[in-house]
Structure 1
Amino acid sequence: MAPKLEQVFTMRAFLSKEDTLVIGPIHGGSQRMIAPVTGGFIKGPGIEMEFTPGSSDWPRLDATTGVLHLDVRSQARNRETGDCIFVTYTGFIKLDPLAQAVMEWSPDARTTESSEHYFITTPKFEVSSEALKWMEQTVFVAHGHFVVPGDGTEAVEYEVYKVVSA
C-alpha cells in the first residue's frame, strides 16, 4: 500500500525585496538570487518557532523552463523555551503568471492558494528539543503558495506534511 501524507504544521517565511540580490546569467544562462528571510514562523501542534536572522533562500531560475530551483537554509527558535530548529530544503516552483507577479514584487501580486501552483519542497530538520527529535527521523513534503498581506511584504507559506506508512 502506498504511503500517505499527514499535515503536521505550517511554515511561513517573509522575504526582503530591498536585500534580495540577483546574479546572472551564470553556468549556462540560469540566474541566481539571494533572498534573505526577514521573519516568519513554524506552527502546528506541539511546535511554535520564529525564524531568526541569517535565514535565506538561494534559488536559481532556469529561464528556459520557467522553473525556480529552491535552496533554502533557515533557523528558528521558540523564544519561551529556547528550543531551536535548523531547516533546509530544496524544491521547485513552476513560474506561472501568479508566481511570476509575486517574484517580481508586482503591484498585481496577490495571496495565492497551493492548488494554483506546482510549488513543492522536501524539508529536512535538525532540532535541539528531545520532544521534536521525531522530525529528524521523518520524511516531509511541503506544498507552497504565496502570502501578500498588502503592507509591502511578501511571504512563502508551506503546508508541511509527514510521510506515513498506510
Structure 2
Amino acid sequence: MSGFPSIQPAFTVRVIIDPPHAVGSASRTTSLQVVPMTGGTVQSAPGFSPSIDAQFVGTGNDYIHADPDGKHLRLNAHGIANHIQLIYLNYTGVVALGPAEAAVFAGTASDGATPFGNSFTHFTFETGDERYKELETRVFVGQGHFIIETGKPTIVEYTVGQVVKG
C-alpha cells in the first residue's frame, strides 16, 4: 500500500548483560529490575550511512518493569558507545514473555538463542559529533533475542532498522 513506511537495515546491536538486580517498588504494582549492561557493540549494516563500528563503554542499565499480568516486560535501556566520539543510545520496548524469554530471566535457559519476534524496541541516539548528528533525527526500530552460551555472559542482540518513506 502506498504511504506506509518501510524499514531499511541500519545496525546490529549486541549487548552483554549481567543477571538482573531486583530493586522492588513501594509505589508501583510491579517491581523494578535493573539489568546491568556490561559491554557490547553497535555495528552498521552493509551500506548504511553513517557507518558505525562502536564498542559500549563504561556500563549502562536496562530498567525493566513487568506488566501486572506477568506476560510482558517494559524496557528502558541507556548506554554509551564509542566510535571516534561518544554516542549515547536509549531504547525502549516490550518483550512478550514466552517460555524461552521467561527461562532467560529465571536463569534456567539452555544454550542457544531465543527466537526473534517477542521483543521489539525503539532506538534513539544523541551525540555531539556532527558526523553522527543525523542519527538524532531518524526513527529506528528493532527486534531482539537472547543468546545463551554456558560459561559466558548473556547477550541481547537487536537487529535495528531505520523507518523510511515507503
TM-score by length of 1: 0.88
Deviations 1:110-162 (A, max 9, x none): 312313x2x11111000233222221110111111111133331011110110
Q: Which residue of 2 aligns with 1:84?
A: 86
* Residue 95 (structure 1) aligned with residue 97 (structure 2): yes
Contact 1:140 1:160 in 2 (8 A): yes
1:52 is matched with 57
Answer whether contact 2:146 2:155 (CA < 8 A) is retained. Answer: yes
1:55–1:41 Cα change, 3 Å: same
Pairwise CA RMSD of aligned residues? 1.7
Aligned to 2:77: 72
Question: How far does residue 84 in structure 1 lie from its aligned partner after superposition?
Answer: 1.1
1:39-98, Cα deviation, whole Å (9 max, x unpaired):
1010014101111123111111124141100011111112xx3x1110112110011001
Look up the match of 2:113: 111
Aligned partner of 1:125 in structure 2 is 125
Change (3 A) 1:109 1:103: farther
8 Å contact kept, 1:114–1:145: yes
How far apart in 2 are the matches of 1:104 and 1:146? 13
Counterpart of 1:165 in structure 2 is 165
Residue 23 in structure 1 maps to residue 23 in structure 2: yes
What percentage of residue pairs aligned between the two structures are identical?
28
Q: How many residues align?
A: 159
Higher relative strand content = 2
Structure 1 segments of 4 or more deviating over 3 A?
25-28
